[in-house]
Structure 1
Amino acid sequence: MPRTDPVRVFVSYTHDSPEHREHVLALSDFLVRHGLDVTLDQWQPVARQDWYTWAIAGIETADHVIVVASARYREVADGYASAESNRGLQSEAALLREKLHSDRPAWTRKILPVVLPGHTPAEIPAFLQPQTADHYLVTGFTVAGCEPLLRVLTGQAPYVKPAPGRVPVLPPRPIKPSGIHPRN
């Protein structure tokens, strides 16, 4: 039976700069306008928040977790940042690493590294396999610019496998003498 509720997406990113935050907001807004239920910190009410429990709940209930690649995200998520910096992201990344460790096949499908304009796949954290697993390049906040990401989020393959055709009838070939003589 087809799914009737929207796909739930949690967005994990670093607050590298106001411009980066705006790009993450633009991506999230684009995804919501195209039928997805996105959890983003920028949309939370202005009130005191326990961000750790918020992230746990968001990741646990998400169908997919988008990890927005940036140099800072990779530095923090791969353990190169000081213990005092980006503590929220350190917690999120630790939780994602635990999820991958507990069920790698399922969480490899759920965690989606996304590369926004101005960034490169080299900014994907190593634990997300930037060279040996899929990642999603966003070239613009349009359907065409987000097509690979939209396809994986909505489960729509780019091509439909055709139905099997008829097996051809192949006549047997005659056996030709090989010129090899049996031993006596």
Structure 2
Amino acid sequence: MTIQKNLYNLLMSGNEAAWTGTSWVMEYDRVFEYTNAQVKQQFEALDDTALAALLDLPTLFAYEKYVGAPVHVGRVTGISRRQKEFAFTFNFDATVAPIPHASFMQLLAELDIDPKWEVNRSHWAVKNVNLADVLHRAGLLPTGTLGPLRRPPQVFISYSWDSPEHRSWVTQLAMTLRQNGVEVTLDQWHVRPGEDLAHFMARGLRESDRVLMICTETYVQKAQQRQGGVGYEQMLVTAQIMREVGTSKFIPIIRQAGHPRQLPDELAVRMYIDLSDGPEQHANLLRLVRDLHDISVPLPPLGQPPV
């Protein structure tokens, strides 16, 4: 049996809100249910190599039978381990229209989905089926291929707990970034009671594409004096900057009331984005989003030299 090139993820949920956002969770004991033994063997280690392979597979985001909601086609874009579950992020393929529930139910046999038990249980399966071919033959996919989706930029937010108001501001910034297609790692969302904060910070700084350093006056003071979590993160940032002098990974984000603006010494010569309250805040936020998506500002056309 050939199982290398004809695989897809099936994510089945009984929660009608599961696929309305960009992230969800699945308990460990629900992973690889209704999965062929030979297929399961390739991924059951669930190490970094196996998780990376799962990210490469096209995915059906389906609902249990009683929900009756449309099915979406896309990709899992990120997987992180928690104590009892996987947290994952996902994107839908904009070139594939949502599949009506009735149409999906007619394709269960071709998709290798048990019509009695599997459509009534939340789980994560890997199927030995060419998903693109099934959808194409059913008239649900214009071509017989599903192209890779661009992974959203991964951002880690470093900040100090200045006040409840400031924490809310940081949360709102993270929500705005997610609404604009940026995957955000934030302690308020991704750290559970009892978890190792130092490990979380080190992993976030290491694995993210960009790091937003929210430079309030308190943050700068803690960074300079190497105090608390901010000080620990600053040591890690300094070490990476020393290894990669030209890196643009670390973006200072100013949120300050006074002038001149303050930055930690390691960031003093780097271009910052000012999100302090004021008339330029919205324009600067859009500038940040464009940069995170690597969208350059278009240059005006080059004119003719004067005669």
Alignment-mate amino acid for residue 133 of structure 1: R
Task: Please give the secondary structure, in 2, of the residue aligned with 1:146.
Answer: helix
Deviation by residue 1:30-54 (Cα, 9 ceiling, x = unmatched): 0011100100001125321101111
Query: 1:177 corresponds to which residue?
Result: none
TM-align CA RMSD: 2.8
- TM-score, structure 1 as length reference: 0.74
Task: Please give the secondary structure, in 1, of the residue aligned with 2:193.
Answer: coil
Picking from 246, 254, 258, the partner of 1:105 is 246
The structure with the greater share of residues assigned to strand is 2
Query: 1:138 corresponds to which residue?
Result: 275
Q: Cα gap change, 1:46/1:61 in structure 2, threshold over 3 Å: closer, same or farther?
A: closer
- TM-score, structure 2 as length reference: 0.46
Query: 1:174 corresponds to which residue?
Result: none
Picking from 207, 211, 214, the partner of 1:61 is 207
Matched, 1:127 2:266: yes
Picking from 175, 193, 199, the partner of 1:29 is 175
Query: 2:99 corresponds to which residue?
Result: none
Q: Cα gap change, 1:117/1:147 in structure 2, threshold over 3 Å: closer, same or farther?
A: farther
Alignment-mate amino acid for residue 208 of structure 2: A
Contact 1:115 1:135 in 2 (8 A): yes
Deviation by residue 1:66-96 (Cα, 9 ceiling, x = unmatched): 00011111111112x6xxxx42111111000
Query: 2:65 corresponds to which residue?
Result: none
Q: Cα gap change, 1:23/1:119 in structure 2, threshold over 3 Å: closer, same or farther?
A: farther
Contact 1:69 1:119 in 2 (8 A): no
* Alpha-carbon distance between aligned partners in 1 of 2:260 and 2:196, rounded to the nearest angstrom: 31
The structure with the greater share of residues assigned to helix is 1
Task: Please give the secondary structure, in 2, of the residue aligned with 1:104.
Answer: coil
Aligned residues: 158
Contact 2:216 2:256 in 1 (8 A): no
- Mark the structure with the bigger radius of gyration: 1
Structure 1 residue ranges without an equivalent (≥5): 171-184
Picking from 233, 237, 248, the partner of 1:96 is 237
Deviation, structure 1 residue 60? 0.7
Q: What is the identity percentage for the equivalent residue pairs of Structure 1 and Structure 2?
A: 27
Q: Cα gap change, 1:50/1:114 in structure 2, threshold over 3 Å: closer, same or farther?
A: same
